[in-house]
Structure 1
Amino acid sequence: MDNRAHASDRAGILATRTRNGGPTMHPILKPALRRGWRDLNTVQCGVTRAHARILGPVDTATGSFLTLLDGTRGLPLLREEGQRMGLPDGHVDRLLHRLARAGLLDDATGGGPAADALRSRTEVMDRLRPDLAALSAITPEPSQGIRRLAARRATRVRVQGTGRVGAVVASVLSGAGVGQVEVMDGGCVEPWDVAPGGLPPESVGQRRDAAARTAVRRAAPGSPPRLAEDRGDGERPLSLIVLAPRDGLEAFAPDPLAAEPLIAAGTPHLYAGVIEGTGVIGPLVLPGATACAGCLALDRADADAAWPRMLAQWRSGRRRQVPACDLALATTVAGLAAAHALAFLDGAEPTLAGARWEVAAPGLAWRRRRERAHASCPCGASEQVKGEHTSVDREPHDTMAG
């Protein structure tokens, strides 16, 4: 089989579950990975390069046995079925180990009490089955997908900004199973705030935060469970804040003063927005470890002496114009920001930590930019990457000569 990273760990997990027939496991070949026969003796599970695995050689009896791995049978019954099909002693267990080593095996009943509680809510699970299938496909260990999905329901996230980007981000996070999604914004909904998946047309004139909370509730697959660790005020600790201001300038060049409380509290936060014809996602700030808004401001000023003066002019006064925010671009930014937020909440490597993605219309070519911790910023992140920020290895900023 291809791609055997962490294979011994997965095999060890399976061995623990199968030893002496317990605890009861109901093996299932990961349903999201489509199966097909490459030839008479080789099975491929999965379509795409990132997830496909090849199993071989596979004889006819073993191929028939694979169809029994549908999550409806426990290990003892599978062993009996294997014997009736004429498979050698121990063949079933060896096959399951091979599948586990390749990350192709899931457990239809595993995941612990939180997963069991989620499965018991049929109406919630029916909404989240595509998300569970996706998590199962990208996580190697059996039951890891359902564990992550159940963990989302114990998570609290705040989205600040309810325009065409922020309201969609909040709805997507809620619909993907995040248990508590808060929204913050001021003023009332304007016609140009409306977006599919975000604020609906009937919300025009309502308070933005109230309208966004309604959208979040509508998107949620059922109410989240009340947890023992909830504090008396019903709030859980914040896992992430998504900053999606309606003024895209505040996402492109975030205000260090506004970020200070988040840095002081150690709260991870992610920037996302649209300015002019450019969409911006990131950085994801891990306070004290990666570049923050202050680092970005200092770094930009180092590269362009006129930047602070220009920024002060752009921020001054009250804008009367409706800000440019292409609907398709805003939806793209919101979707990708939500995907990165979910990956972070699920425990994946935070690829936007210290980085940002920009995409500009009409070419829509994505550009990744590394954002480095600045030695002069009081956030302290530069201590984690001491010596990394130098004048010779800093990526240049885009400039325009005229």
Structure 2
Amino acid sequence: MQLRQGLRVLRRARDEVQVGVDPRWAVRVGGLTPERAERLLRAGDRPVDDALPASALAALRAAGLLRPRGARARRVRPDLVPEALAHGLTRADGDGVDSVRRRSRATVAVVGLDRAGTTAASTLALAGVGGLLLDDPRPLGPADVAGPVAARRTVDGATDRATAVVDGLRRLAPRTRVHVRRGLGAVLAERPDAVVTASAGATDPASALALLGADLPHLPVVTREADALVGPFVRAAADDRALPCLRCLDLHRADADPAWPVVLAQLVAPGADGHAPGVPAALAAVAGGLAAAEVLAHLDGGSPRTAGAQYEVPVPSAEPRLRRWAAHPACGCAALDG
């Protein structure tokens, strides 16, 4: 047997080593001779059967830290090795390359490119998503885009957010296919594998309805005065019949506050985002990163944590809290069909 790739092996004492650092699977192996401890520390991709007593092998096998002797690592792009190794350690078969390859065949749209939307787009590109469709025609402001994507915005002479972010992403992740699309209709026509919408104050109900009607997986990111909301992740009706759509949340809010529809109309009115103060950097990093992680979970074949839930991320702690939502009985969304 061999150790799974990506594991660190560290000495704890002359006769004890630790395999793995993550507490979900880290194992202490004790009672070793100094020679056996040294061999395990240097194991790498070499077999460990003859380096360890049967009890130690049994402990490593029980923790899922072994793979068959002679198993050859599947090749992956050097920049995506961290993705493949980390995700391989969380899978029963130990193979994270499948996740990376699935991402490379996927296309994700990001509609709305404030700091949180830009962070989500750049994270998805760096994580190996093959194609990105970007939509945001608003003029570029000094506090709009974030991170390495923003580094040369003035040099590029970009006049709108989408163009600036495309230029930055093509430098940051040159193997990702990045294109500007004008309007949600143009985005939907390309049938992306998922859509992230980033907006200030609230998600436009008309956009949410269009995404639901198109039967496309979608995830809203909403930034408010000093917090952000990420989710819920809305998937096709056939996937999750019991989960809420974005209209369900608005109906729940209207139940709690009858004036919510009036407030919502003002938040999503044309030009309303011009009154928003922008997104603090740390909040954008956390909210955008969470949004990207949720989309990646979906692309990898898993279940996003925000399916039927929503992250609430406040300033200054930026500590996400997961809030559960139910489908609203008055909503006619596909979540209540059948």
Point out where structure 2 has 5 or more consecutive residues left out of the alignment: 178-188
Per-residue CA distance 1:278-332 (angstroms, 9 max, x = gap): 1111111123222111111111111211211222233346345353321221122
Q: What residue in structure 1 maps to residue 180 of structure 2?
A: none
TM-score (norm 2): 0.80
Point out where structure 1 has 5 or more consecutive residues left out of the alignment: 1-13, 15-26, 119-123, 225-234, 385-402
Query: Which amino acid in the other structure matches residue 147 of structure 1?
Result: D
Q: Which residue among 251, 257, 274 is the counterpart of 2:223?
A: 274
Query: Which amino acid in the other structure matches residue 255 of structure 1?
Result: D
Q: What residue in structure 1 maps to residue 325 of structure 2?
A: 371
Q: Does the Cα contact within 8 Å between 1:161 and 1:243 map onto a contact in 2?
A: yes
Q: Secondary structure at the match of 1:285?
A: coil
Q: What residue in structure 2 maps to residue 105 of structure 1?
A: 66
Q: 1:310 to 1:260 in 2, by over 3 A?
A: closer
Q: Secondary structure at the match of 1:197?
A: helix
How far did 1:364 drift?
Answer: 3.8
Per-residue CA distance 1:27-49 (angstroms, 9 max, x = gap): 44433x33234455543222232
Q: Which residue among 37, 43, 50 is the counterpart of 2:24?
A: 50
How far did 1:188 drift?
Answer: 3.0
Q: Which residue among 133, 142, 146 is the counterpart of 1:195?
A: 146
Q: Does the Cα contact within 8 Å between 1:155 and 1:179 map onto a contact in 2?
A: yes
CA distance in 2, matches of 1:212, 1:69: 44
How far did 1:373 drift?
Answer: 0.9
Per-residue CA distance 1:209-268 (angstroms, 9 max, x = gap): 2222222222226357xxxxxxxxxx98522111112xx123xxx233212232233211
Q: What residue in structure 1 maps to residue 250 of structure 2?
A: 297
Q: What residue in structure 1 maps to residue 104 of structure 2?
A: 153
CA distance in 2, matches of 1:147, 1:278: 35
CA distance in 2, matches of 1:106, 1:175: 28
Q: Secondary structure at the match of 1:182?
A: strand
What count of residue pairs does the alignment treat as equivalent? Answer: 319
CA distance in 2, matches of 1:59, 1:266: 60
Q: 1:312 to 1:236 in 2, by over 3 A?
A: closer
Residues 205-216 of structure 1 correspond to what in structure 2 (within 5 A)? 205-216=158-169
CA distance in 1, matches of 2:14, 2:314: 49
Q: What residue in structure 2 maps to residue 256 of structure 1?
A: 205
| Identity percentage of aligned residues | 33
Q: Does the Cα contact within 8 Å between 1:30 and 1:105 map onto a contact in 2?
A: no
Q: What residue in structure 2 maps to residue 23 of structure 1?
A: none
Give the stretch that moved more between structures: 300-309 or 47-56. 47-56
CA distance in 1, matches of 2:85, 2:158: 39
CA distance in 2, matches of 1:96, 1:363: 43
CA distance in 1, matches of 2:197, 2:72: 36
Q: Secondary structure at the match of 2:148?
A: coil
Q: Does the Cα contact within 8 Å between 1:190 and 1:205 map onto a contact in 2?
A: no
Query: Which amino acid in the other structure matches residue 338 of structure 1?
Result: A
Per-residue CA distance 1:153-183 (angstroms, 9 max, x = gap): 1121111111211122111111111111221
Q: Does the Cα contact within 8 Å between 1:29 and 1:69 map onto a contact in 2?
A: no
